[in-house]
Every structure is written in structure tokens, then in C-alpha cells.
Structure 1
Amino acid sequence: MTARPPRLERRYQLLLRAYPRAYRAERGEEIVGVLLDLARPGQSWPTPADVADLVGSGLRQRLRLPIVDGLAAGLRLAAPVALALAAGLSACLWAWLEVVTGLHTTGPVAYAAWLAAAVAYALGRAGAARTLVVVAATTALALPAAAPLTDLDRPPLWVTMVLAAFGVIAAAGLRAPASADERLGVGAGTPIIAVCATALVATAGLPPGPATAYYQPTLARVGLVVAVAVAVHAAIAGVRLISGRPARAWLWATVLLAVPGGWLGQFGDQVAAGVPGGAAVDVAPHFGRLAQVLLATCVVGVVIAWLVRAESPVRAGRRQAPRRATPGADRAGGGALWLTIGAALGLAATIAAFALPAYLAYATPMPLPRAGYVSATIALLVATALARTVVDARTLAPGRWARAALMVAAGAVAAACVGWLVAVYDNKWTLTGWAHPDLTANLVTTLALVPFALFALDAAPSVLRSSASARPVLERTLGLWTLLASAAWLSYTTVPHLLSWGPVLLLLVAGLLAVTLAPRRPTVN
């Protein structure tokens, strides 16, 4: 046997040490075997897709991430749909906003890459399509930074976020070779989505023009197309659940598509014809896009947590033994919980810093209702964070205090940075001279959706479980306070604006209630 050159031999040994033959994780062992064969003399080098899969499998192994049942199959189902949605929406935005309304931005650079990826996949070039998807998603994220270098405007951040999220799903799930059904779905689905989305926008009665047809009213109607895709996957999963067939892959596909879909188009904003400057008129209670994005992400997070924790009592004809409970197993996770505590404290401090000038009448005095809401948010964030600190400090090992303190500090710094970025964004990317810090503080309070949702998700199992009565009185009381305070703030902030929620978000909430209240099926695979 011909000996390998030293360079190939070193690579061969590195692969052996990084991925032992006993390692099995989805496609991990298969990819390693392919790469080891390709490393032999006279063979071609691995493709970029093989290297990406190898890196992903290696990170999963090194970080000890669990292999979630159905996630890989769900990604495979959702990836072509995500590609068709991204390409179809790109065609709609390009045709309607850039051509019809005359709104000229740098967006067509990314739109062209998405359309090229869809064409390549429809022609059976899955590897090239995956590369183009990565290029399109990266370009979409880079457009806001590159716009100042040109005379064109940048596309709104919400558009780039949605396209980049679809790109992540497509890049992670596209596999070669593509089946005929997948190729046909992307090839036929892309123009159908583009035509339907454009028709919804064109027939909405909006006067054409850059000022009246900006991305906000357009996305509110484009979101209906994405909602249909999410609803179809949810319906298929529901039918499979009712019939007792494996449905976990379809559930994962629904959730994955709902992440960017939930960021699109909340109801309630409509441009009135004849209004000077295209002023927006609220036809339903106002619900800002930041709140829409955060609430949709939190709801999807709850569904993902349910899917990850749900275990099938029957798998492959064998009955599984129930998992043994461990101390603190009902918690959201040690590190994640301390990060959440730090984020709540850091966000409270940031909101207080923005609201203080208004309290002192440094700028426009804050109206009493707004001042009460901001003050209540700050107080609830601090009180809830302290309650969780007391509860979790009782079970914290003596040697873990330093790590917990580091997590709290990291969460506080991260929350302060995000709050500051939201404030800068709200003031047109200016750092000083803010005319209305009270409005800025009110907007930054929207970020509290995330820590309150995590607090509620952490406290609910321990409070609602029948064995909770055996816990100490202090722990039960603080857990009940955490759940009630978080639920009260979340309800006050979101439920009154129910008519403004986007279609995908309403579908998610309905589906979450259905799977929670429905009787358990024997399998969910």
C-alpha cells in the first residue's frame, strides 16, 4: 500500500483523534468515513458541504449537545420550503418595492442570490444551491453595513433578519442529491409564492409610492403566505398525531419555519389613502414589530422546549424505562437561569438609566401612565430576579458560586448592550441628543419579554407539579411569585394587543394550546 504524504498523514491522524470510530451522531460517522477516504492519495478533496457537516458534527460532539429526535428530519423537510419562501419573497419585494413603488435599496443584491439558489436547486445542483444560500444570507446581513458606501438606502433590518433566518434553515437542511419532489417543490413553489405575495400586496388598496408601500404594510401581507406554509405543516403533523403515525419531524419543520415566519407582518398597521406623507393609521391596538419578534421567538422557544423534553414511552416496539428524576431537573438549566437573572437585573438598570432624565424633567416629562408602566417593569424585573436568586442559591453547590456570579455579570452586560442598541436604533442611530428618552425607555421595556418568559418557563413545572407541596414553604412561595409576576406582566403587555398579532404567531399559540390540552398520544416521533 502506498504511504500517504506527510501532510495527508497528519490530517488523517487529526481526523482519527477528533472523531473516533465509535462516535455516531446522525451523519457524523458517515462523513468521517468519506473524508478519510478522500484524504488518500489520488482522491479528490472534500466538498464544502462535507466540510460544513464535519465541522457541525464536531462541534456537537465537543460541546456535548444532545441529539434531538426528529430535528434532522425536520430540517430536511423545512429546508426546501425555506428556500422557496426566501426566493419567492425576494422576488415579491424586488418587483413590488423596487420596481412598482420606486423604492431603491441595496436589497436586490441579496434577492438575486436567493433566486439563483432556487434555480440551482430546481436544476438538481444541491451543492451549488447550498453555497448560494450561504452567500445570500451573508449578503442580506451585510447590506445594512454596506448601504452607507452607496447612494442607495438599506433594506429594513426586519427583512434581512427574516431572509437570513430562512437561509440558516436552508443551509442546515439541504442535502444532496435532492429528490424530484424537492426540486419540483422549489421550482414551482418559488413563482407561486412570489405571485401570491405580490397579489396580496397589490390588491390591498395601498397607494403606490415609496412613502406608502414601505416594508411595514408589505410584510404584514406577505406574512400571510408564510402562515399558509406553516399551517400546512402543522396540519400534516396534526393528522399524523391523530392517526398515531410518527409526527415529530413534521412538528420540527413547523416550528423551524415559524421562527422567521413569526417575525413577519403583525396586523394593525394600515396606510390610509390620501393621508399626507403616507401616515400610518392604527386600525387595531398597536403592537410594535420588536414586540412581535420577541413574542414570536419566546413562543417558539416554549414549543421547542416541549419538543425536546417530550419523550415517547414506546419506541421501535420496545417500552422505555422512565427517566430518573434528578435534583433540579425541572429547572431551565443552571447556567441559563443565572444568565437570565443577570439579564433581568441589567435590563432593569438600563431602563432606569434611560427613564431617569424624563423623571427629572430633563426632557419632555414622562406621562403618568407611561411612568407607571416603566416603573412597574423595573420593579418586577428586580423582584423576580431576586426571588429566583434566593430559590436557586439554596441548591447551589459551594464551589459553584464564582461561576454563578460570572454568569449573572455576563447576562447583565449582554442585556445592557442589547438595550443600548435598541435605544440607539430608536433614535435613528444617534448616540446623543435624544429628544424623547421617555419613549426610548418605554420601547426598551419590550425586551423584558425574554427574561419574564424564561422565568415563567422555569417556575411553571415546579409550581404546577403535584409534588410541589413537598417543597419548602419559602421555595414554593417564591416560585409562585415568579410565575404570577411573569404571567401578569406578559399578559398585560401582549393580550390586550391580540388583534395586532401576526398570523403565524396566532397559529403558534393555537397549536401550543392544542398540544397542551389534548390527551397524550402513545407516540410523537
Structure 2
Amino acid sequence: MGTYLALSSSDRRWPSIADVIDVAGGGLRQRLRGIGATGIDPGVRLAATLALLTATALAGGWAVLELNPWTTAWFGFEQHGTSVSLGLGVWAAWLLAAVVHVVTPGRWTRLTIGLALVLTVGVVPLAAVVDRSRPPLFVLLAQVCLGLVALGVPGQPPVWLRLLPVVGAAAALPVAAIFARSGGDVLTGYYGWPAVQVLPGAGTALFLVTLLVGVGLAARNDLRGAWALLVLLCPIGMLWLHPLAEELAVISYGGGPNADWTTLAAAASIVAAAAAIVMSAAPMVQRRVAFTQAAVERGRAGGSLTTDSAQR
């Protein structure tokens, strides 16, 4: 604290945001190191890279569908022109984050991701004020969870890692263009059938990629992949939110699946609570395993010394 005070100007009465984040981050790292969670920091960086890749790929696909021109009745009112909803600005912000990550990774990338997060959350009240349509909450919630994890992107990654979000967004464009060309009732709102199908697919892909990367790293005694998978549990669950809410509706009310806002909110709460419990338990389990291994090694060392003494 004395160092912070010495480096600050005489007229400053409150710490800067960067200083607050630095102190809080350093304290959190010390706490995690104290309970044995030494691999979580590189795991967060790996999870952030994969989360940014997923978020920008989804944004690229949604932006193409937003730009698909049609005139159709959508939930009771007419939609005209090239922009279906206010979501176009949200997806543009996420694509900007992918470009900034290539040009100036680190601080500016995190600031751009923060701007995209603000727009993703702010589009909800804005749509209510200007009376325009917006992406549904289950689409926005998944994007917010991915963005929060993406804030941990490394400051100076290799060039090929910088390019991943742009490549992911570019790869999503032709897939979205196929949906856009198909037209018809399927695209009377890309938040309907496409979103319900695409988001769980993205969640499955994110899970499998993280698992494969984790297995490859574990073969070299590197647990970054395991920590990355734990960090990404909540975003993956949010990507599967609509199917989970449908199952919850069947369990709660019987009959066919009918996910409304109450079942979606309940499913989101369950996913968030389960991810928090698993993430909290993981450092304690790791510490217990490390303690047991150390005790076994001490026992072996003590037994070896006893045998040597007896032989002497």
C-alpha cells in the first residue's frame, strides 16, 4: 500500500480502477496459491482464449443473419430493412474485439471486450425504451458469460493465438450464409430455431475442444486444461440453457417442453450454482490430493531410512 501511495499524485484521493484490479487480482492469486490452486492462473488464460473464440464465432454468425434482408411479421409486428434488431450493434462490438485482439492484445482487448459486455447488457433496457426487438435473454446471457471469461485473455499471446477469434468469426460466416439463403419460416427470427440448435452445438464444441486440449496438456503433466474446463463450466451450461430449461419444464409441469422465462431463470440459477460449487470444491480437492501425496512420500522416505539403519 505504501508503494501505491508513493506512486500516486498528491491530489489523488481514490485509487484508480487499474490499481484496484491489480490489488484484488494479486490478493486472489495469493489466496488460491495458499490453498494449492497453483495452476488456475494459466488455466484462466487458456479458458479466456477459448471463450473469446466462441463468442466472436457466434457474433459473426448472428451478424450475418441480422443482415439478411426480409420483410416478415415477427412476433406481431413487421420487420423491414437489413437490420432485424438492435443485436447488430452488439455483434459488431464483439467482432471489433476480435480485430483489436489481433492488433493490440492485452489492455485494449480487455477494454473492447468490456465495451461489448456493456452493450450486450445495455441492449435489454435500450430495446424497451426505443421499442425495438433485441436478441432474447438466453442468447445474451450465454454471450455475457463467455465475455466475462474472455476478460482474462493473455497480454502477449503468440500470433496464431491472436488470430483464432478472427478465424472463428470468419468460419461462422459461410455457415450463417447458408441459413440466410434458406429463408422461409426458419429465419422469421434467428433467435428461434437457429439459436436453439446453434447454442448447444457451440457449447458441445467448446467442451470437446477444451477436453482434448486438456488431455494433451495432462500428458505432459500440465493441468491447465483441467482448470480451463472448470472455468468454462458456467458458459458451457449457459449455452445449453434452452434445452435444460425445456427438460426442467417437463419435470416441473409434465407434458411437452415449453421453456418460458421462469424455467429459463431457474435453469440459469441451477447452472450458475452448480458451476460455483464445482469451482469452489476443486482447489480443496487438489489441496487434499497434494497433502495425501506428500504424506505418502514422507512415509516412503521414513521407511527407506529405517531400512537403511537396520541394514547398517
Q: Please give the TM-score of this superposition, normalised by the length of structure 2.
A: 0.69
Displacement of 1:216: 5.2
Instruction: Report the AA paired with residue 64 of structure 2.
Output: A
Instruction: Report the AA paired with residue 188 of structure 2.
Output: P
SS, match of residue 320 in structure 1: helix
Structure-1 separation of matches of 2:173 and 2:231:
21
- 1:210 equivalent among 181, 184, 188: 188
The question of 1:79 aligning with 2:48 is answered yes
SS, match of residue 185 in structure 2: coil
Residue 176 of structure 1 is matched in structure 2 by 155
Cα-to-partner distance string for 1:145-180 (whole Å, 9 max, x where unaligned):
121221412321112211211121111x12322332
Residue 294 of structure 2 is matched in structure 1 by 320
Residue 202 of structure 2 is matched in structure 1 by 225
Residue 286 of structure 1 is matched in structure 2 by 257
SS, match of residue 251 in structure 1: helix
Structure-2 separation of matches of 1:308 and 1:203:
49
Superposed, 1:217-296 pairs within 5 Å as 217-241=194-218, 243=219, 245-265=220-240, 266-267=242-243, 286=257, 288=259, 290=264, 292-296=267-271
Structure-1 separation of matches of 2:173 and 2:227:
25
Unaligned 5+ residue runs, structure 2? 72-78, 246-254, 297-312
SS, match of residue 239 in structure 2: coil
Displacement of 1:137: 0.6
Identity across matched positions, percent? 25
Structure-2 separation of matches of 1:227 and 1:303:
19
Cα-to-partner distance string for 1:27-78 (whole Å, 9 max, x where unaligned):
xxxxx7xx6785489xxxx99656533343357779x996733221111001
Structure-1 separation of matches of 2:30 and 2:120:
30
Kept after mapping to 2: 8 A contact 1:89/1:194: no
Structure-1 separation of matches of 2:141 and 2:41:
23
- Please tell me whether Structure 1 or Structure 2 has the larger radius of gyration of its CA atoms: 1
Residue 499 of structure 1 is matched in structure 2 by none
Task: Note closer, same or farther for the CA distance 1:151–1:297 as it changes in structure 2 (3 Å cut).
Answer: closer
Kept after mapping to 2: 8 A contact 1:68/1:308: yes
Unaligned 5+ residue runs, structure 1? 1-14, 17-31, 270-283, 323-525
SS, match of residue 205 in structure 2: helix
SS, match of residue 227 in structure 1: helix
Task: Note closer, same or farther for the CA distance 1:205–1:101 as it changes in structure 2 (3 Å cut).
Answer: closer
Structure-1 separation of matches of 2:59 and 2:213:
27
Displacement of 1:187: 2.9
Kept after mapping to 2: 8 A contact 1:137/1:164: yes
SS, match of residue 124 in structure 2: helix
Superposed, 1:122-133 pairs within 5 Å as 122-133=102-113
Kept after mapping to 2: 8 A contact 1:233/1:250: yes
Superposed, 1:42-441 pairs within 5 Å as 51-58=20-27, 68-100=37-69, 104-171=84-151, 173-196=152-175, 198=176, 201=179, 207-211=185-189, 213-215=190-192, 217-241=194-218, 243=219, 245-265=220-240, 266-267=242-243, 286=257, 288=259, 290=264, 292-311=267-286, 319-321=293-295
Structure-2 separation of matches of 1:235 and 1:297:
24
Instruction: Report the AA paired with residue 177 of structure 1.
Output: Q
Task: Note closer, same or farther for the CA distance 1:231–1:292 as it changes in structure 2 (3 Å cut).
Answer: farther
Kept after mapping to 2: 8 A contact 1:120/1:126: no
Structure-2 separation of matches of 1:207 and 1:124:
42
RCO higher in 1 or 2 (8 Å CA, sep ≥ 6)?
2
Task: Note closer, same or farther for the CA distance 1:128–1:51 as it changes in structure 2 (3 Å cut).
Answer: farther
What is the alpha-carbon root mean square deviation over aligned residues? 4.0
Structure-2 separation of matches of 1:71 and 1:100:
45
Q: Please give the TM-score of this superposition, normalised by the length of structure 1.
A: 0.43
Structure-1 separation of matches of 2:258 and 2:228:
27
Task: Note closer, same or farther for the CA distance 1:70–1:219 as it changes in structure 2 (3 Å cut).
Answer: farther
Kept after mapping to 2: 8 A contact 1:118/1:186: yes
Displacement of 1:247: 4.3
Displacement of 1:202: 5.6
Displacement of 1:252: 1.9
Kept after mapping to 1: 8 A contact 2:45/2:154: yes
Kept after mapping to 1: 8 A contact 2:230/2:279: yes
SS, match of residue 246 in structure 1: coil
Instruction: Report the AA paired with residue 127 of structure 2.
Output: A
Structure-1 separation of matches of 2:183 and 2:38:
46
Task: Note closer, same or farther for the CA distance 1:258–1:207 as it changes in structure 2 (3 Å cut).
Answer: farther
